[in-house]
Structure 1
C-alpha cells in the first residue's frame, strides 16, 4: 500500500511517499481503507517540530479520515468488513495516521458514517467537529450533550466562523437550537459563516464588535467559541453573560493573555480550555455520537453550500496539502487517498 511518511521534523518537504506492507488488526482493532483524509493545523505543527520531538522513528501524518473497514480483529463486535466509517485521533498515540491507503485503529477511534454522508464530510469531522462539540458542552448552565433543542434559547458567539472549527461550531450549535453570532474579517467570510448557519455576523474590521454583539445580545452571550484569546479576550469579557463560558481551543494571534482580575471575576464566567488529546474517552465518544446524529439529520455538511470550501489534493501531493493549511487556506483541505 502507499503511505506518506516523515522521519524528521521540518518543512513539508520532509514528507515522502513510500510503499509499505499492510498491517493486520489485533484484538479490539479494525483496519480502514482510507478514501479521504483531512489535514488539520496540528498535522503540520507536529511535522514541523512545534509540538515537540517526534514520538516515533517514522510517522504517517493525519488524525482524521473516512473510508471503509476492510479487516476486523478479534473481539470486535460492532464493526464488519464493508462498514463506512470516520476516524478521530488516528495518529495521537500511534505512528500511523490517515495519509495512507490502510490504517489499523482501535475501535474507540472509529465511528460509523451514515450512508447519506460523503467521505468528504467524514474526513472533515474529527479534530474540528469534536473540538467544536467540546466547546459547546461544558457550560455551567448548558447541556453536556448536543441534540435538537439542547441549546434552545442560548446565544453562541463563534470567533472566526470561516475556519474549520468555527464552521463546525456554527453547524452544531444551529442544529442544537442556538442563536449563533460569528465574528469575521471580511464580507467573503461573512458569507461562509452565514452559509454554515450563523444568524448574525459581525465584521470586526468595519464596526465596533462589542457594540454590535451587545445590540444583538443585550444580556450577553452564553458561550464563546474562541480561536484567538490573545486578541479577543477583552472583547469576550465584555459580551459574556454572568456564568457564561469562554471555550478556548487555539492560540491564533499570540501565546500570552493578560487578565484584569476584577473585570474577569465579576463576570462569574468560566474559561474552558479545549485540547482533544486529554479530554478523556467519555467526552470523545459523546461527541462522536452527537456529531453522527447531526450527520444523520442532514444538519452537518461541507462545501460552499455549508460554508466550508473544499481543497482536494492527491496522496502524492500531501506536502502541498500541508503547505496549504500552514499558509491559511480558507475551508477544508482534504487528501484523496484511494
Structure 2
C-alpha cells in the first residue's frame, strides 16, 4: 500500500510517499480502507514538532487524526459484523504511527463510528477533531447540559468566536441542532456568509462592530456559553458572559496566557475551561461521539458551502500541500481524497 510518511519533524516537505506492506489489525483493532483523510491544525503542529527536527516517537509517522473509509479487516476480539461497514475515524494517529494519510490504516475499533447511509465520506473525514471539540465546548458550565440533541439548548444563547473556522463552524451547526440561539463573530463579509450558512442567527463582524455592545443588545442578560478561539477575546468574553456562563478556550500557542477579572467572574459564578480533545474526560468524549453520530443520522450537520464550510480537496500524493494549506489558515476544510470508491 502507499502511505504518506514523515521520519523527522519539520516543514511540509518532510512528508514523503512510501510503500508499506498492508498492515494487519491487532487485538481490538480494525483495518480500514481509507476514503478521505481530514487535516486539522493539530496535524501540522505535530508534524512541525518543536523545531528540532527530531524523529517521531515510532521513528516514522503517517499523519492525520481524522478520516473515513470502509472496514476491511478485524482483529481478535472485534465482532466480524463490522466488516464492510462505512465509518468515520477519530484520533487515529494519537500516540500511534498509523494516521489516515494512507490507503490503509489500523485503528482501535472503539475509535470508529458508523457513518450510516446519511453520511458521506467527506463529512466523515471532517467530524473528529472539530466536532468533538465543539461538543465539549457546548456542554460545559452549570447552565449547559452534558448531551446535545434537538431541544437540549432551547432558551440558551451561545457566542461562537470565530464562527467561520472549522471548530467554530461545528459549534454553530451543533448549537443550532440543539435549538440554541447562536451569535457568531467573523472578520469579513465573506466569512459572515459562511457563519450564516452554518446556521448562526446573528453574525457580527468584529472589525467593524463593537462585539460586546452588540451581543448585549441581542441578549441583555448575557450569553450562556462562549466557544472561544483566542485568548485575545478575553475582555469581550467577560463583558458578555451571563449568570453561570462558561467560556471554553480550545486554541492557542505555547506561552499564551489569559487574565480575567476575578470579582466580576465570581459574582456570576462563571466557568473558564480549557479544552483539548485528546485528553478530555472519557465520559464527555463518549457523549460527544454519540451525539455527533446522532446529528449525522438526523442530517443536521454537513460540509460544503451550503453548510458554511468550503472544501479544499487534495490527492494523497499532495498531502504536504494539504498540510501547507491548513498551516496557512485556509478558510474551510482541507480534505485528502485517498479512494473515491473504497467499496469497489
Give the secondary structure class of the aligned counterpart of 2:82.
coil
Gaps of 5+ in 2: 340-344
The Cα offsets for residues 142-200 of structure 1, whole Å up to 9 and x where unpaired, read as: 11011110011110000001000000000000000100000111110110000000000
- Superposed, 1:1-338 pairs within 5 Å as 1-50=1-50, 54-77=56-79, 79-229=81-231, 231-251=232-252, 255-338=256-339
How far residue 265 of structure 1 moved from its aligned partner, in angstroms, is: 2.5
Distance 1:170 1:328 in 2: 19
Corresponding residue for 2:342?
Answer: none
How far residue 267 of structure 1 moved from its aligned partner, in angstroms, is: 3.1
Judge which range, 258-267 or 316-325, deviates more: 258-267
How far residue 204 of structure 1 moved from its aligned partner, in angstroms, is: 0.8
Judge which range, 70-79 or 59-68, deviates more: 70-79
Give the secondary structure class of the aligned counterpart of 1:247.
strand
Distance 1:241 1:158 in 2: 15
Give the secondary structure class of the aligned counterpart of 1:134.
helix
TM-score normalised by L of structure 1? 0.97
Count of residue pairs the alignment pairs up: 337
**CA pair 71-253 structure 1, distance change in 2 beyond 3 A:** closer
**CA pair 79-246 structure 1, distance change in 2 beyond 3 A:** farther
Q: Is the 8 A contact 1:45 1:51 kept in 2?
A: no
Q: Is the 8 A contact 1:157 1:221 kept in 2?
A: yes
**CA pair 79-241 structure 1, distance change in 2 beyond 3 A:** farther
Distance 1:285 1:78 in 2: 22
Distance 2:32 2:117 in 1: 16
Give the secondary structure class of the aligned counterpart of 2:134.
helix
**CA pair 329-254 structure 1, distance change in 2 beyond 3 A:** farther
Q: Is the 8 A contact 2:74 2:80 kept in 1?
A: no
Give the secondary structure class of the aligned counterpart of 1:66.
strand
The Cα offsets for residues 105-130 of structure 1, whole Å up to 9 and x where unpaired, read as: 11111110121111000000000000
How far residue 309 of structure 1 moved from its aligned partner, in angstroms, is: 0.1
**CA pair 253-226 structure 1, distance change in 2 beyond 3 A:** farther
Distance 1:238 1:51 in 2: 38
Distance 1:203 1:221 in 2: 18
How far residue 264 of structure 1 moved from its aligned partner, in angstroms, is: 3.1
How far residue 259 of structure 1 moved from its aligned partner, in angstroms, is: 2.6
Distance 2:245 2:336 in 1: 38
Gaps of 5+ in 1: none
How far residue 253 of structure 1 moved from its aligned partner, in angstroms, is: 11
Write out the 4+ residue segments of structure 1 that deviate beyond 3 Å after TM superposition.
Answer: 50-53
Distance 1:56 1:219 in 2: 52
Give the secondary structure class of the aligned counterpart of 2:62.
coil
Q: Is the 8 A contact 1:321 1:334 kept in 2?
A: yes
Q: Is the 8 A contact 2:9 2:51 kept in 1?
A: no
TM-score normalised by L of structure 2? 0.95
Give the secondary structure class of the aligned counterpart of 1:320.
helix
